[in-house]
Structure 1
Amino acid sequence: MDDRWPHQTVDVLGVRVSRIDVGRLREFVAAAVKDRTKLTITFANPDYVRKAQKDRALRDLMNGFDVNLPDGWGVVLAAKIFGRPVPGRMANDDLTDDLFGQPAEEGWRVFLFGNAPGVAEEAAHNLRAWFPGLAIAGTQHGHWAKDGALPPETAERLIAEINEAAPDILHVGLGTPLQQRFVADHRDRIDAPVIITCGAYFEHLAERREYYPSWVLKLRVGFLYRLAREPRRLWRRYTVELGSYLGRVVVHRIRHGKQS
């Protein structure tokens, strides 16, 4: 974590979650682009937090980012239970207007790296239509990993491609923990001042701008909506594992009380 981006945080089962609002986030991004100062941003959802509690390496990766935004109401709820509430849920889907509207307004260049072949290109096509004037510096898919890691020669080639495109903001959608490891290992060699992890976000952008219908966001049942769309892949995450996560939050609160 860089001390040039000071802000308050809440400890959610060992993961340092940022307590900033959208306005402060936009200020950080603007300052990083203007000063060419590195700013790394990732997201903490209940699944990542639960895994990080058991996996010290993943916890250290997440805590090494400058900003760690609350992705999911489970993290928002935990912060409130621990006595240090966050302004609200700040997943990639919630921030589309900011992540791409701000660059379109300012003339910044963005690069989309990740997800399956063709997805980033389709996402870029939609983004150009939604945000006139947005400069997409380049796109590249993220299916390069072997045995859970990017081969060194592949990483070298991808970094050279990204730097050649000269983006101001790089979005990395490789899935956790691969995307966090890629940023941690190569942040100082990537010229883009702002690097943001985004998981499967390009898939949402490629399909439509509002992945979650407004009623889903209003009722705060995004996890149920995703479960209904992908039951085979997500049923365990949103039943057994989510229940385990919430149980750990309650136990931690009982044992340690509120955070000061």
Structure 2
Amino acid sequence: MVANLAAANAGQAPLDGWDATKNPNDQITRTDWIGAIFRTGIVQRHNISINAGTEKFSTLFQGRYERNEGTLLNTYSENISLRFNTSYKFTDRLKFRQELFWNNHGAVGTSTESGYSGTILSAIYMPRAATVYYPDGSFGGVGPRDSPYLGIHGDAINPVATLLRNNPNDKSNDLQSVSELSFSNIIPGLSFLTRFLIVRQVLSTKISNLQEQNPENRTTRIHYHIVPIKAITGSGKIQPITLNPSINTASEQCFL
């Protein structure tokens, strides 16, 4: 061991905790900590699409589910989305189009950059003689609870415990609606188009490792936007009509 070699090179006796005759427990490899925190991440992607229509009516429905497991325990990214598009032609000149999109995203990650509690660094620091769990099922420390030599390992943290206790996650819920009405060739070369857009976004972030003590920070943003009626001339240029001004409002609520 490096500690024993350093003591020998200095002409000193090894510390009791590193002396195999006094602390034989730490001379046995029980856990590969790097192997304990990493896994093979499984990626799932499922899609469904249904469309139908007639001469005047058409519709499209799409659903998508995605889950990407991280290579570290208890880390993942999950996404569910639905899309519904429909259009109806009242006449050859008057048409209506509606699009709805909903997306729900969630992710659980972990800190790997910290020089003290980073998950991967903790796996390097943890003694290989330690076990992931104590016999009673609780997460293990750097050695047996009654060992007098626990201090030789410093502040090493069980990385498996860090990952499995990890509950903070980021979630977002988005809803977007677009309604469009168009009237073409009111007179030769002149058409009208109006569009109404709603975007609703809810963001939720859990910031504590302990779920029962975990307040949610939730932000809700709702945006409404009415595109003014526009005239499309025969030259292809779009000119807004000043009789219908645009409306653009936004509201935000925060729950801390």
User: What is the TM-score when the length of structure 2 is the normalising length?
Assistant: 0.21
Higher strand share: 2
Question: Relative contact order: is structure 1 or structure 2 higher (C-alpha 8 Å, sep ≥ 6)?
Answer: 1
Higher helix share: 1
Structure (1 or 2) with the larger CA radius of gyration: 2
